[in-house]
Structures are given as structure tokens and as C-alpha cells.
């Protein structure tokens, strides 16, 4: 499966996906790292790892659809089969989302459907909830919407601040995202309407995360 990873900044999740595709996930290969931001620091990791990179600055397009059209073109030029959004901070138009229906996943640093959008950890801390985590989900037209593939939770301790919580959750993201991508590239899940049907191997692989984390 030829994968494109979309980033807007640091790209630490992208790094984990690339590493996993070079080691334990031979059914997927990262063919393109794309960013809407030329300054995205993750781009250099991709280049240093011999991965094709591409930047299209969204600010030069008046309409969201025009940027999305160029992105779509770039993905098709590179024969991409599947997209992973990894800290890609752009809302994608409905047409784009529909063109890549069930072929695009996203990672979000909360237990969706709670805390969609920005400033997640700040809002989690302020809410005084004692549980947070991360989610990988299929992309649908609404922001951070779509059928959930996998989640990992963590306790929010009373003395956690935004920074501590973001570090804790990011570590979990780095574990969850490669496993979820592998579920797709190994054909271990099926999607019926918006329902995810997990094979036994898929369930085992998701369970194994909890075992690894001692949960």
C-alpha cells in the first residue's frame, strides 16, 4: 500500500509511521510526505530518509477547494493508495474527503468524540476530567469526525499540566498510529457503512498495545 503522510509541523507521528513501514510493516510504504507549510520541521526527516516531499502553500489559493485539488493531483501523480494525516492542520473540503473515502485516517490527541478541535490538552485540564488519550479515526467531512479505529487512554493526574499531558498523550500516539495503519495495509479490518469490522488478528494487535502498556 502506497502511503502519503500529510503534516503541518513537527511530524513526530510521521517519523513513527515511516520507521514502522521500514521495520515491522512491510505491507505499507511511505511514498510521499506532504505539507502545506514549507517550514514544517518534519520535512527534513522525510528528505533524510529518502522519501519524496512536496509542499503546497495553502495561502496562495483563494478557495479551499483549489488547494485540495492540487493536493489531490499530487497524491495521484505519486500513485498514492492511502493517506495518513499526522498533525495536518487543514480542514479538507467535502469533495476531497469523498474522493479518499475510507482511504484516509487521522490521529487526534483526545478520546474522540470528546475534545475535537484545537487546544485539546488545555481544555482537557480545564474540564477536570481524569481521563484522556488519543484516537485514530477515518476522515469524514466534519473536523475530527469519523469512525474510530483505535484509542489509547491515560489517566489525567491532578498535577498534570498542558505540557505534561501533551507529552504523555504523544507517547501513546506514537504507539497507536503505526498499529492502526498496519490494520489497513494488512487488510485486517473492513468498513461497512460507518461500522468497523475487526478481524481476530486486528483485535489481537489492538489488545497487544494494552498488554505492552501494562494495562
Q: State the binding string over 140-169 for ligand GAR (x if CB under 6 A, else -).
A: ----x-------------------------
Could you tell me if 199 and 129 are in contact, meaning their C-beta atoms sit under 8 angstroms apart?
A: no
Residue from 12, 37, 104, 132 that binds ligand GAR (CB under 6 A)?
12
Residue from 6, 86, 105, 111 that binds ligand GAR (CB under 6 A)?
86
Instruction: Based on the shown chain and the rule CB under 6 A, indicate whether residue 170 belongs to the binding site for ligand GAR.
Output: yes
Of 58, 108, 121, 174, the catalytic one is 108
Minimum distance from CB of 211 to ligand GAR (Å)? Answer: 23
Q: State the binding string over 90-109 for ligand GAR (x if CB under 6 A, else -).
A: -----------------xxx
Closest to ligand GAR by CB, 53 or 199:
53
Residue from 4, 5, 11, 25 that binds ligand GAR (CB under 6 A)?
11
Minimum distance from CB of 106 to ligand GAR (Å)? Answer: 6
Closest to ligand GAR by CB, 145 or 201:
145
Cβ atoms < 10 Å from Cβ of 126: 10
- Catalytic status, residue 108: yes
User: How many CA atoms are closer than 13 Å to the CA of 141, on its beta-carbon side?
Assistant: 5
Minimum distance from CB of 11 to ligand GAR (Å)? Answer: 5
Report, as residue numbers or ranges, the catalytic residues. 108
Site for ligand GAR, rule CB under 6 A:
7, 9-13, 86-87, 107-109, 144, 170, 173
Amino acid at each position: 500500500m502506497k502511503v502519503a503522510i500529510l503534516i503541518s509541523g513537527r511530524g513526530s507521528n510521521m517519523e513513527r509511521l515511516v520507521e514502522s513501514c521500514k521495520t515491522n510493516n512491510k505491507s505499507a510504504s511511505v511514498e510521499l510526505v506532504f505539507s502545506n507549510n514549507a517550514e514544517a520541521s518534519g520535512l527534513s526527516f522525510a528528505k533524510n530518509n529518502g522519501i519524496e516531499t512536496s509542499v503546497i502553500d495553502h495561502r496562495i489559493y483563494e478557495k479551499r477547494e483549489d488547494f485540495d485539488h492540487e493536493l489531490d493531483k499530487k497524491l495521484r501523480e505519486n500513485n498514492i493508495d492511502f493517506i495518513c494525516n499526522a498533525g495536518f492542520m487543514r480542514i479538507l473540503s467535502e469533495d476531497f474527503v469523498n474522493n479518499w473515502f475510507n482511504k484516509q485516517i487521522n490521529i487526534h490527541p483526545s478520546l474522540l468524540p470528546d475534545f475535537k478541535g484545537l487546544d485539546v490538552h488545555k481544555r482537557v485540564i480545564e474540564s477536570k476530567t481524569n481521563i484522556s488519550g488519543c484516537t485514530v479515526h477515518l476522515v469524514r467531512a466534519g473536523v475530527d469526525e469519523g469512525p474510530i479505529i483505535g484509542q489509547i487512554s491515560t489517566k489525567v493526574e491532578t498535577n498534570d499540566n498542558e505540557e505534561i499531558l501533551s507529552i504523555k498523550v504523544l507517547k501513546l500516539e506514537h504507539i497507536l498510529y503505526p498499529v492502526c495503519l498496519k490494520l489497513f495495509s494488512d487488510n485486517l479490518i473492513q468498513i461497512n457503512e460507518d461500522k468497523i469490522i475487526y478481524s481476530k488478528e486486528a483485535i489481537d494487535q489492538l489488545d497487544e498495545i494494552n498488554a505492552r502498556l501494562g494495562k
